[in-house]
Amino acid sequence: MQAYKKNILKIAELGGAFAFLRHKARYEPKLLMYHRVIDHPLIDAVKPEEFERQMAYLKKKYHVVSMNQLIQELQNDDIQPCTVALTFDDGHFDFYHHAWPVLKKYELPASLYVTTDFVDNKRWLWPDQLKYLLANTTERQLQFEPLGNIAIGSDTVLEAWNDIADILLEMSEEARAEALADIAEQLGITVTGEALAPFRPVTWPELKAMHAEGLDIGAHTVSHAILGRVSDDQLDFELRQSAKRIQEQIGVAPEGICYPNGRKEDVSENVFLKAEAHGYSYGLVAYKQKVSIDRRYQLGRVSPPRDIFEFRWQLARS
């Protein structure tokens, strides 16, 4: 964050602007969307020390509730002032090692939405797999259409990843799998279904232990498929089987479904109706949208910035 912007935010906070805006929007619940809590050069994430500063601030200034409590309050038209809910996507190992200890320390409820095949060590999340391939090869170039020859090196991994990932994201699952297999072959790396550090998942025993301590565990599908693009049969499978697997392992069926990727173009009215039909109480998207019971299957979220002053500002004005 640029120094002048940080100084402006500090002045605004000292002048009471944050408190005024927070009071003005006090009955508008805010859903925060996290993914990773880790300090690693390959991963764009909130660092553990940044995360703790954010949680300490929430504990002091906001009414943090579980997603299940939020749904109840929405149903009863009984939203408390300055309500915030914490949501975490995917289910990487660092949630257990870095995020959960901080959440317990500040006694903050949270929901973690897991991709069950990922936790079962049956598959990588494809963005992680691509990054792993680029970071671990000894090759120095890659042929990838329509980009042509791409330079690969320790200082170009993230740039190459961004360029390739943008194209892979728009592919069908089958085409993406073929492209990743071709990339792995060109780069001379064999990849199994089990994700490796720093991309490995949380384990079921860890999830079960956290659930016993109060963590809410929701579904993030079986394969992390973009639900707005799949057939009805696959959509039913992703919604049904992920809930079944969580219940088998944790002992409780998930209340919520978090749609993978979750952009407006990644979901549809059919997805929302299917989520309801499969017994979920609510669904989460990955774009900003007013949180209301009328849109319980498309509850909007915001991704929090890492800097604590920008974090405070976003919460106050959103």
Which tens digit of pLDDT belongs to each residue from 186-233?
Answer: 999 999 889 999 999 999 999 999 999 999 999 999 999 999 999 999
pLDDT in tens, 67-112: 999 999 999 999 999 999 999 999 999 999 999 999 999 999 999 9
Asked whether the predicted pLDDT for residue 252 surpasses 80, the reply is: yes
- Between CA 40 and CA 312, with CA 49 as vertex, the angle to 5 degrees is 115
DSSP secondary structure code for residue 144 in this structure: E
Domain ranges of the chain: 18-121+199-317, 126-187
| Helix/strand number for the chain, H first, E second | 14, 9
pTM for the complete prediction?
0.94
Buried b / exposed e along 250-269 (16+ C-beta atoms within 10 A): beeebbbbbbbbbeeebbbe
Q: Residue 198 in contact with residue 43, Cβ under 8 Å?
A: yes
The candidate with the shortest Cα–Cα distance to 168, out of 140, 129, 200, is 129
Mean pLDDT, rounded, of the chain? 94
List, in sequence order, every residue forming a beta bridge with 274; answer none if it has no partner.
none
CATH level 3 topology of 18-121+199-317: TIM Barrel (3.20.20)
